[in-house]
């Protein structure tokens, strides 16, 4: 992998977070039967909540436990530091800011919908929603990484500590975790943004990428040791296609140099996941390939079943100049950003995050793999 000409990507913009959530598509559950493999077929109890689904060989999670960043965060971030709590975030869903880094639903919400469960409650709000604990918990914080970033929020290790604490308090049983829970780890790039923003050099980037993937693998092994039997991890999306990179060419084309670095991260991750699966019984670990799904959607301006995006690289909401971002206000309370007329027609919401329509398209692109790999 040639990274010698790799240069700074201004990946870390203060106030961007990565979030994902989705709910409420009308699609009902589908016939995964043909794709079933032989996981978990020894435990009939996992279907007890859904007698109508006769998936003898399938795995049907009823709980999601989510770790990571703004691509999956549904409201853990503090209002004082996150744009996700400012207008116009949340304008499409739920109609006001909800802590999601989008105009609406994010990846977590769409995955929950896929499994027919409610989106798991953000960890920060769990004591106000104990009735939702049966769907799992979302521990993800926008802006975070596997290492500490510029955002003063818990890194992935600390997020897993929170989960471990709930286990120690018997909020969940080992059986809950082993038999009916899907774990999702999202790493969308904040470690790299922080690395470059704090003077990390391009020469050392390959070594840093290696250490990021190694730490991610440590985290995956740790949740496995805590009982998780189904662990999905996101491949890094094409960072060079995010508006923060393509703004330099008026959102015309992706930055290939940056995507080369992403390839390196993803190939290390792919090898690591293969190795982990070789070392464990069944297919415990899987990759949610955001790299391919972003590329598919961006290249074909949508996928069947999703919106058509006429200018997929162009974000809907942007600061009026470099100092401002989506949601910024000046001292007088005036908006320092512009929003497109129809967020449903845009793939990207802000400089780094898809819109709800964007996530819906990603979800449609991912669905076939989800069926094969998880169910
Ligand atoms: C692509 O990104 C690299 C690294 O951030 C930067 O040095 C380069 O100028 C960018 N290329 C283009 C064509 O924007
Ligand atoms: C995660 O955060 C904690 C608390 O700041 C820190 O002690 C720990 O070293 C961090 N873990 C990693 C892997 O960076
Ligand atoms: C996993 O096992 C397969 C089959 O034994 C082997 O071909 C492959 O090289 C292994 N992969 C890794 C990363 O260890």
Exactly one of 73, 191, 289, 350 is catalytic; which is it? 350
How far is the centre of ligand 2, averaged over its atoms, from the C-alpha of 196 (Å)? 19
For each of the domains in the chain, give its residue range(s) and CATH number, in order of start: 33-373 (3.40.50.1110)
Are 291 and 350 in contact by the 8 Å Cβ rule? The answer is: no
Q: Is 70 considered catalytic here?
A: yes
Over range 174-187, report the average pLDDT: 96
Exactly one of 70, 181, 245, 325 is catalytic; which is it? 70
From the list 62, 53, 171, 183, the residue with the least C-alpha distance to 118 is 62
How far is the centre of ligand 1, averaged over its atoms, from the C-alpha of 257 (Å)? 6
Confidence of residue 375 (pLDDT cuts 50, 70, 90): low
* Predicted TM-score (pTM) above 0.95: no
Confidence of residue 164 (pLDDT cuts 50, 70, 90): very high
Q: Is 353 considered catalytic here?
A: yes
pLDDT digit string (tens) for 19-35? 222 222 333 334 344 34
pLDDT (0 to 100) of residue 19: 26
pLDDT exceeds 50 at position 46: no
Q: Which of 139, 143, 154, 158 is the pocket-test mutation for ligand 2 (most atoms within 8 Å of CB)? A: 158
Nearest-angstrom CA–CA distance, 362 and 342: 19
pLDDT (0 to 100) of residue 30: 40
Confidence of residue 58 (pLDDT cuts 50, 70, 90): low
Is 155 near ligand 2, meaning CB less than 6 Å away? yes
pLDDT (0 to 100) of residue 60: 84
Nearest ligand 2 atom, CA 154: 2
Nearest ligand 1 atom, CA 7: 4
Q: Provide the percentage of residues in the chain whose pLDDT is more than 70.
A: 84
pLDDT digit string (tens) for 279-309? 988 789 999 999 999 999 999 999 998 999 9
């Amino acid at each position: 992998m040639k990274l010698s000409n790799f240069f700074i990507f201004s990946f870390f913009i203060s106030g961007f977070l990565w979030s994902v959530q989705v709910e409420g598509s009308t699609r009902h559950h589908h016939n995964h039967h043909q794709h079933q493999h032989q996981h978990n077929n020894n435990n009939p109890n996992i279907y007890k909540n859904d007698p109508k689904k006769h998936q003898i060989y399938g795995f049907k999670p009823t709980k999601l436990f989510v770790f990571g960043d703004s691509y999956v965060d549904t409201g853990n971030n503090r209002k004082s530091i996150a744009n996700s709590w400012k207008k116009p975030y949340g304008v499409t869903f739920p109609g006001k800011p909800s802590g999601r880094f989008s105009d609406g639903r994010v990846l977590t919400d769409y995955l929950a919908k896929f499994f027919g469960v409610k989106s798991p409650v953000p960890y920060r709000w769990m004591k106000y929603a104990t009735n939702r604990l049966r769907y799992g918990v979302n521990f993800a914080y926008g802006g975070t990484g596997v290492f500490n970033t510029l955002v003063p929020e818990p890194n992935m290790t600390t997020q897993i500590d929170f989960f471990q604490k709930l286990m120690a308090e018997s909020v969940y049983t080992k059986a809950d975790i082993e038999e009916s829970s899907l774990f999702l780890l999202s790493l969308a790039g904040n470690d790299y943004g922080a690395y470059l923003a704090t003077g990390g050099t391009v020469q050392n980037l390959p070594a840093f990428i290696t250490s990021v993937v190694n730490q991610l693998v440590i985290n995956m092994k740790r949740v496995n040791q805590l009982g998780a039997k189904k662990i999905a991890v996101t491949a890094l999306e094409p960072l060079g296609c995010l508006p923060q990179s393509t703004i330099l060419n008026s959102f015309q084309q992706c930055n290939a140099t940056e995507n080369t670095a992403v390839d390196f991260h993803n190939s290390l991750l792919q090898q690591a996941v293969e190795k982990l699966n070789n070392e464990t019984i069944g297919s415990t670990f899987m990759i949610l390939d955001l790299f391919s799904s972003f590329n598919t959607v961006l290249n074909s301006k949508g996928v069947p079943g999703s919106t058509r995006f006429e200018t997929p690289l162009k974000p809907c909401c942007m600061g009026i100049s470099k100092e401002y971002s989506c949601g910024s206000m000046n001292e007088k309370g005036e908006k320092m950003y512009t929003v497109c007329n129809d967020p449903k027609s845009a793939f990207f919401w802000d400089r780094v995050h898809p819109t709800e329509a964007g996530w819906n398209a990603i979800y449609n692109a991912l669905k076939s793999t989800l069926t094969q790999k998880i169910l």
